[in-house]
Amino acid sequence: MAAHSSSTASIRILASALLLALSAPAPAQQGPQLNLPRVELSAGMYRIDAQVALSDAERATGLMHRRDMPAHEGMLFVFEQPAQQCFWMKNTLLPLTAAFVADDGSIVNLADMKPQSLDSHCSAKPVRFVLEMNQGWFAQRGIKPGFKLQGTPFRKP
pLDDT digit string (tens) for 27-47? 444 667 768 999 999 999 999
Instruction: Tell me how far the alpha carbon of residue 32 is from its chain's centroid.
Output: 13
User: pTM (2 decimals)?
Assistant: 0.79
* 8 A C-beta contact, residue 79 and residue 85: yes
For the chain, 157 residues long, the average pLDDT of each consecutive 10-residue run is: 41 35 42 86 97 96 93 97 96 97 98 96 98 98 98 87
Q: pLDDT at position 130, please?
A: 98
Q: pLDDT at position 30, please?
A: 62
Backbone phi and psi for residue 12, each to the nearest 5 degrees, phi listed first: -60, -45
Q: What domains can you pick out in the chain, each with its CATH number?
A: 38-154 (2.60.120.1140)
Task: Please give the share of the chain, as a percent, with pLDDT higher than 90.
Answer: 76
Q: pLDDT at position 129, please?
A: 98
The CA distance from 79 to 56, in Å, is 9
Which residue in 77, 117, 120 sits closest to 100, CA to CA? Answer: 77
Task: Say if residue 29 is exposed, middle or buried (CB neighbours under 10 Å; 0-12, 13-18, 19+).
Answer: middle
